C-alpha cells in the first residue's frame, strides 16, 4: 500500500508538471506580445528554461542523493509554482525571462521523481513503473494545451495561476504522503558534492554513456518532428488550430497507450536494449515515410506509428540507467540524463527552424537522420549490455 501511495503521488506530480508546461504552449506567444515578445525572442524565451535546467537538474539530483528526495522534490515544486505565478504577474519581458529561468533552476522534480521510482522498485518492475510515470507525463502533455486554451477565456493570466496552484498542491501532497525513500542519505552524510565535469565524464561510461546519448538524440528528433508537425499541418494540410490541437492530442494518446502496455511488452521481450533498438528502427522508418507524404491520411499513419513506438523510449532508457546506477548516485544520474533531455529540447526547435528554411518536409528527414544515429548508438548499447538484460 505504501509503495502504491508513493507511486500515485508521483503520477500526480508528473501530470501537473507536464500539464503546467502544456498550458503555456498555446498562450506564451500571444501573452508575451503585450510585453514586446517577438518570434525571434520566443525561441530564446523557450530555450532559457532548458539551458538553465541543463545545469541545475544534475545538481538537484546530487543534493537529493546527499540529503534525501522528499524535501528536494517539495522545493522544486514550490519553485515551479513561484515561476508560474511570476509569469502571470509579469509586467515586462524581463520578468518573463526571469520566470522561465526560475522554473529551469528548480526544474528537477521529474528527475527526482524518477530517482524515487528507482529507490522503491526492483529491476523486474522498474520498466513498468517508469512506463506509468511516462503515461502520466503524456496525459498531462495532452490535457495541458486544451485546459490552458479553455482557461484563457477567463483572462490570459488565469492559466498560469492555475498551474501555480497545481504545483503547490503537488508540494502539499508530497509533504503529507511521501516518505523519504533514499535511506543512503542518512548512512552517508559526507558524499562529495556534484562536479559539473560529470556531465562530460558520464558519456564515457559503458552502457550509461550510450543510453544518455540515445536519449538526447531521440529527444532532439522528437522536438524537430514537433516543429515540422505544426508547420506542416498549418501550411501544407491547411488544418485549423482546432484540428491541429485534436491531431496533436491523438499523437499524445498513442504514446500513452504504448507506455501502459510496457509490462506486457517486457514480458514478451526481456531485453530492454532490444526493445529500445527495435522501437527506434520503427520510428526511423515511420519518420522517413512521413517526409515523403503530402496528404492527411498517410501523414496521420506515419505520425501515429512514430507516436506508438516512441512511447517506449523513456521507460526503457530510464530502467537501463536505473539498473546501472549505484544507489548513492541515482539522483545525480537521473539529473544528468534530464540535463541532456533539456539540451535536446532546446536544440531541436533551433535546428528544425534551419531545416524548414530548405523545404517543408526537411524537418521530418532531419528527425529521421537523428534517429538513424540513435540506432547506431543504441546498437552499441546492446553490445555493451550484460547478457539477460
Contacts with 366 (C-beta within 8 Å, 6 or more apart), sequence order: 224, 351, 352, 355
Q: How many domains does the chain have?
A: 2
| Judgement on whether residues 47 and 79 belong to the same structural domain of the protein | yes
Residue 78 C-alpha cell reads as 514550490
Render the burial of 314-353: b for 16+ CB within 10 Å, e for the rest. bbbbbbbbbbbbeeebbbbbbbbbbbbbbbbbbbbbbbbe
Render the burial of 11-50: b for 16+ CB within 10 Å, e for the rest. bbbbbbbbbbbbbbebbbbebbeeeebeeebeeebbbbbb
Distance in angstroms (rounded) separating the CA atoms of residues 182 and 173: 18
Instruction: Mark which of 115, 147, 179 sits at the end of a domain.
Output: 179
Decide: residue 196, CB within 10 A, 0-12 exposed, 13-18 middle, 19+ buried.
exposed
Higher-pLDDT residue of 145, 238: 238
Q: 16-25, 212-221, 229-238, 239-248: which has the minimum mean pLDDT?
A: 239-248
> Is 150 within a domain?
yes
| Judgement on whether residues 134 and 222 belong to the same structural domain of the protein | no
> Is 188 within a domain?
no
Taking all residues of the chain, what is their mean pLDDT, rounded to a whole number? 83
Domain at 293, CATH number: 1.20.1250.20
CA nearest neighbour of 308 among 254, 368, 230, 263 = 254
Higher-pLDDT residue of 101, 7: 101
Q: What is the pLDDT of residue 245?
A: 66
Helices (H), the chain: 2-24, 28-32, 39-67, 70-89, 93-105, 109-120, 126-151, 158-177, 184-187, 198-201, 208-231, 241-260, 262-268, 272-292, 296-310, 313-324, 330-356, 362-384
> Is 369 within a domain?
yes
> Is 331 within a domain?
yes
Q: What is the pLDDT of residue 63?
A: 82
Contacts with 263 (C-beta within 8 Å, 6 or more apart), sequence order: 127, 128, 131
> Is 190 within a domain?
no
Domain that holds residue 9: 1-179
| Judgement on whether residues 1 and 97 belong to the same structural domain of the protein | yes
Q: What is the pLDDT of residue 110?
A: 79
Distance in angstroms (rounded) separating the CA atoms of residues 284 and 290: 10
Cα 231 to Cα 263, 308, 366: the distances in Å are: 35, 22, 15
- Helices 362-384, 330-356: axis angle to 10 degrees equals 150
Distance in angstroms (rounded) separating the CA atoms of residues 348 and 363: 10
**Does 132 score more than 60 pLDDT?**
yes
| Judgement on whether residues 37 and 145 belong to the same structural domain of the protein | yes
CA nearest neighbour of 169 among 74, 94, 233, 89 = 74
Most confident of 13-22, 153-162, 232-241: 153-162
| Judgement on whether residues 163 and 258 belong to the same structural domain of the protein | no
| Judgement on whether residues 162 and 249 belong to the same structural domain of the protein | no
Location of C-alpha cell 524518477: 114
Instruction: Mark which of 144, 179, 214 sits at the end of a domain.
Output: 179
Ordered DSSP codes for 60-97: HHHHHHHH-SHHHHHHHHHHHHHHHHHHHH--SHHHHH
**Does 1 score more than 50 pLDDT?**
no
> Is 189 within a domain?
no
CA angle 150, 305, 248 (to 5 degrees): 10
Length in residues, the chain: 389
Residue 219 C-alpha cell reads as 529527444
CA nearest neighbour of 273 among 331, 215, 203 = 215
| Judgement on whether residues 163 and 278 belong to the same structural domain of the protein | no
CA angle 379, 383, 388 (to 5 degrees): 115
Yes or no: say if 72 and 60 are a contact pair by the CB < 8 Å rule.
yes
| Judgement on whether residues 101 and 4 belong to the same structural domain of the protein | yes
CA angle 222, 75, 80 (to 5 degrees): 45
Handedness of CA 17, 18, 19, 24 (dihedral sign): positive
> Is 191 within a domain?
no
Distance in angstroms (rounded) separating the CA atoms of residues 76 and 310: 28
- Model confidence pLDDT, tens digit, residues 268-293: 888 889 999 999 999 999 999 999 99
> Is 187 within a domain?
no
Instruction: Mark which of 126, 145, 179 sits at the end of a domain.
Output: 179
| Judgement on whether residues 230 and 136 belong to the same structural domain of the protein | no
Count of Cβ atoms closer than 10 Å to residue 121 Cβ: 18
Q: 183-197, 327-341, 372-386: which has the minimum mean pLDDT?
A: 183-197
CA nearest neighbour of 278 among 312, 318, 320 = 312
| Judgement on whether residues 133 and 163 belong to the same structural domain of the protein | yes
Higher-pLDDT residue of 185, 137: 137
Q: 43-57, 193-207, 213-227: which has the minimum mean pLDDT?
A: 193-207
| Judgement on whether residues 136 and 213 belong to the same structural domain of the protein | no
**Does 194 score more than 60 pLDDT?**
no
| Judgement on whether residues 208 and 165 belong to the same structural domain of the protein | no
Amino acid at each position: 500500500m505504501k509503495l502504491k501511495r508513493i507511486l500515485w503521488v508521483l503520477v500526480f506530480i508528473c501530470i501537473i508538471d507536464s500539464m503546467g508546461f502544456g498550458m503555456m504552449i498555446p498562450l506564451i506567444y500571444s501573452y508575451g506580445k503585450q510585453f514586446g515578445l517577438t518570434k525571434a525572442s520566443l525561441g530564446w524565451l523557450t530555450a532559457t528554461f532548458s539551458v538553465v535546467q541543463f545545469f541545475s537538474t544534475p545538481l538537484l539530483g546530487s543534493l537529493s542523493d546527499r540529503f534525501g528526495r522528499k524535501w528536494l522534490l517539495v522545493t522544486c515544486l514550490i519553485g515551479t509554482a513561484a515561476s508560474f505565478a511570476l509569469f502571470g504577474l509579469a509586467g515586462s519581458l524581463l520578468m518573463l525571462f526571469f520566470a522561465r529561468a526560475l522554473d529551469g533552476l528548480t526544474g528537477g522534480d521529474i528527475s527526482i521523481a524518477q530517482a524515487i521510482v528507482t529507490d522503491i522498485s526492483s529491476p523486474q518492475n522498474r520498466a513498468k513503473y517508469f512506463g506509468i510515470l511516462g503515461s502520466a507525463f503524456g496525459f498531462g502533455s495532452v490535457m495541458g494545451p486544451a485546459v490552458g486554451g479553455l482557461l484563457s477565456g477567463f483572462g490570459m493570466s488565469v492559466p498560469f495561476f492555475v498551474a501555480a496552484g497545481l504545483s503547490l498542491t503537488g508540494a502539499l501532497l508530497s509533504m503529507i504522503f511521501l516518505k523519504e525513500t533514499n535511506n543512503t542519505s542518512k548512512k552517508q552524510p559526507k558524499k562529495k558534492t556534484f562536479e559539473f565535469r560529470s556531465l562530460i565524464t558520464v558519456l564515457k561510461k559503458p552502457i550509461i554513456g550510450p543510453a544518455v546519448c540515445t536519449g538526447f538524440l531521440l529527444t532532439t528528433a522528437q522536438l524537430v518532428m514537433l516543429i515540422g508537425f505544426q508547420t506542416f499541418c498549418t501550411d501544407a494540410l491547411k488544418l485549423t488550430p482546432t484540428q491541429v490541437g485534436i491531431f496533436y492530442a491523438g499523437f499524445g494518446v498513442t504514446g500513452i497507450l504504448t507506455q501502459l502496455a510496457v509490462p506486457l511488452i517486457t514480458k514478451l521481450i526481456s531485453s530492454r536494449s532490444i526493445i529500445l533498438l527495435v522501437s527506434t528502427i520503427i520510428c526511423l522508418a515511420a519518420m522517413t515515410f512521413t517526409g515523403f507524404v503530402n496528404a492527411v491520411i498517410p501523414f496521420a499513419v506515419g505520425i501515429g506509428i512514430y507516436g506508438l513506438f516512441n512511447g517506449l523510449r523513456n521507460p526503457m532508457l530510464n530502467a537501463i540507467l536505473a539498473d546501472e546506477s549505484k544507489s548513492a548516485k541515482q539522483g545525480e544520474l537521473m539529473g544528468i540524463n534530464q540535463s541532456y533531455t533539456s539540451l535536446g529540447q532546446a536544440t531541436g526547435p533551433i535546428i528544425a527552424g534551419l531545416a524548414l528554411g530548405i523545404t517543408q518536409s526537411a524537418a521530418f528527414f532531419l528527425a529521421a537522420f537523428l534517429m538513424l544515429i540513435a540506432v547506431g548508438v543504441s546498437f552499441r548499447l546492446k553490445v555493451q549490455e550484460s547478457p539477460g538484460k
